[in-house]
Amino acid sequence: MEPVIYTGSLLIVREQPDYNKGDIITYYSQINNKEEIITHRVYRIGGNVYTTKGDANEAIDEQIILPRLVIGKVIGIIPKMGDYLMFLRSSTGLLICITFPMILILNVEVFTIFGILEQNGKKLF
């Protein structure tokens, strides 16, 4: 969908009562027997189905989209935020952004408790 939506952007999608030619929609699609989520622009509306096309693609998509497969219309784009969220979902991202800060905070709190106890003349060991 470049240049409108760059890879790694976070999309804000909202269900609409109907969709028009030119709207950017997100929908479920079967690719290689695997369900995927696709975001493309509505190229044509015929009866009760949509034909879509990616902005960077020359060809119109072969698959017709039934209304029940449409998740919604793209109403907002936050560049690069999708890359950041995908990093947080990775094991490295989880370790760096969740586990290390948790260990740091826990250590600070433990040393604070030991310091308070020593000030009051109590020893734990």
pLDDT tens for each residue of 63-80: 999 999 999 999 999 999
What pairs with residue 28 in β-bridges?
A: 37
DSSP for 67-119 reads GGGEEEEEEEEETTHHHHHHHHHSHHHHIIIIIHHHHHHHHHHHHHHHHHHHH
Residue carrying the six token digits 């690069």:
80
pLDDT at 61 over 90: yes
Using pLDDT thresholds of 50, 70 and 90, give the confidence band for residue 49. Answer: very high
Asked if residue 96 has pLDDT above 80, the reply is yes
| Confidence (pLDDT) at 16 | 96
Rounded to two decimals, what is the model's pTM? 0.74
Structure tokens at 64: 């017709």
Residue range 85-109: mean pLDDT, rounded: 92
